[in-house]
Amino acid sequence: MNMPPIVSPQEWDAARETLMVKEKELTRARDALAAARRRMPRMAVEKDYRFEGPDGPVRLLDLFEGRRQLIVYRFFFEPGVDGWPEHGCGGCSFLADQVAHLAHLNARDTTLAFASRAPQPEIERWKARMGWAMPWYTITDDFDADFGVDEWHGTNAFYRDGERIFRTYFVNSRGDEAMGTTWSYLDLTALGRQEQWEDSPEGYPQTAPYEWWNLHDEYGE
């Protein structure tokens, strides 16, 4: 391996400070990109999409679980996918292992759900083996084709206004690599992290950072 040189502590600090300038530029650019997402136009969802859940048939509206925002990841686990029925797609499974505790998303009025074409008994078995807790539904209509995830994984973000649903963002391919943290999911949503420092349109819900953060088993107390 052609490793970089060994230097003194002073030289190492100088090199780190030089790189830090670029890292701060990336952070600011990432924040600006998230701000642009919050200004994306919305697309009305006109179809009444249906899924099968652990307790029976549900609508897309039900996937919100009463919250204002919904993020749906299309996980490939179904007949025809490598590993079926023993396990799901390796890449999708890698992403699922990275998902942070859902209570933090829920605290920002946001629900994360997975969707596949596998029957519910297979989904429940696979979730139990892997120790995953996210709600996971069976696609029963054209949801995957209509939202760009019939042939490849992807993450769609939705916003609910009463019973009206809007698609607000979509990311797939390598864009899914960063998904899993609470921040990466909130940065995709129409409302963002909902913190006061963010560049958001007037009237968006915002609270002070840190103050809403909590232990995952103490939200709502």
Q: Summarize pLDDT for 161-214 with one digit per residue, the tens.
A: 999 999 999 999 999 999 999 999 999 999 999 999 999 999 999 999 999 999
Alpha-helical regions (H) of 85-162: 90-97, 102-106, 120-130, 143-146
Copy the structure tokens of residue 35: 């701000």
Mean pLDDT of 36-46: 98
Give the span between the Cα atoms of 51 and 136, in whole angstroms.
10
Q: With pLDDT > 90 as the criterion, what percentage of the chain qualifies?
A: 97
Mean pLDDT for the stretch of residues 11-37: 98
Using CA atoms, how far apart are residues 180 and 178, in angstroms rounded to an integer?
7
Mean pLDDT of the chain: 97
Average pLDDT over residues 69-94: 96
The answer to whether the pTM exceeds 0.85 is yes
E-only strand ranges, the chain? 43-44, 50-53, 56-59, 69-74, 110-116, 136-139, 154-161, 164-172
Per residue in 171-183, pLDDT (tens digit) is 999 999 999 999 9
**Looking at residue 20, what is its pLDDT?**
98
**How far separated are the first and last CA of the chain, in Å rounded?**
54
Q: In this model, does residue 69 exceed pLDDT 70?
A: yes
Q: What is the mean pLDDT of residues 85-103?
A: 96
Residue 221 confidence (pLDDT) above 80: no
Secondary structure of 8-29 as H, E, C letters: CHHHHHHHHHHHHHHHHHHHHH
Tokens of 204: 């968006």
Domains of the chain: 15-186 (3.40.30.10)
Residue-level pLDDT at 156: 98
Q: What integer pLDDT is reported at residue 220 of this predicted model?
A: 82
Pairing of strands 154-161, 56-59: unpaired
| Burial degree of 210 (CB within 10 A; 0-12, 13-18, 19+) | exposed
Return d(Cα 143, Cα 45) in angstroms, integer: 11
- pLDDT by residue (tens digit) across 122-158? 999 999 999 999 999 999 999 999 999 999 999 999 9
Q: How many CB atoms lie within 10 A of CB 155?
A: 22
For residue 46, the SS3 value is coil
Which two tokens mark 153?
Answer: 């994984």
The CA–CA distances, whole Å, from 62 to 70, 176, 178 equal: 10, 24, 27
What single DSSP character describes residue 155?
E
**Distance in angstroms (rounded) separating the CA atoms of residues 144 and 162:** 23
